[in-house]
Amino acid sequence: MLLHKSFNFSTASLKVKMFMSTRSMASKTPVGFIGLGNMGSPMARNLLKNGYPVIATDVFPESCKELQDLGAQVVDSPSEVAEKADRIITMLPSSPNVIEVYTGPNGILKKVKKGTLLIDSSTIDPAVSKEMAVAAEKMGAVFMDAPVSGGNVSPKELVNKCVFVICCLTPMEPISANLILP
């Protein structure tokens, strides 16, 4: 998570501990996934393959078809994902896409529930991540900038490979996403 001056470490730590303490319930609650391109689609398929209900959307509706066939619930907008999921992963191609998905007219932050965990795995400008963290915090949500590393693996191979995601709550407290999405 990229931090900003008013970031409250104790609140974020408490919220993540709450997610970690409800690990047994985690597989029963839906995971929102926005951005079903080269990286996002295989990651969302992995969630489905491992029994997680997925609520997905993408600007290209045809990208949703395969996931829908695999059991994902497809919705029309990021705000609809935010209405239905309290853990949302975004995997988008650029900073302008992230800004639109989070703060646009049908963005996540229009309908995000207090306490929602927002995990952004997009490759974007760090300043945009900071802006989104501030905006999410104002809505009572937790935003994490979570870079993804799959090694030297093509996106198609990700379906059967481990993808490692690193999030930081504090400079000394890294956690892996498997603690949040067991």
Q: Is residue 1 one of the residues assigned to a domain?
A: no
pLDDT digits (tens, 9 = 90+) for 7-50: 444 444 444 444 444 444 455 689 999 999 988 998 899 899 88
103 located within any domain: yes
Residue pair 37/93 in contact (Cβ under 8 Å)? The answer is yes
- Spatial separation of the C-alpha atoms in residues 53 and 30, rounded to whole Å: 5
Burial pattern 111-126, b for ≥16 Cβ within 10 A else e, equals bbeeebbbbbbbebee
Asked if residue 3 belongs to a domain, the reply is no
Q: What is the pLDDT, as a whole number, of residue 149?
A: 64
- How do residues 74-123 score in pLDDT, each as one tens digit? 999 999 999 999 999 999 999 999 999 999 999 999 999 999 999 999 98
Confidence of residue 147 (pLDDT cuts 50, 70, 90): confident
Reported pTM? 0.76
* CATH at 143: 3.40.50.720
The C-alpha atoms of residue 25 and residue 71 are separated, in whole angstroms, by 19
**79 within some domain:** yes
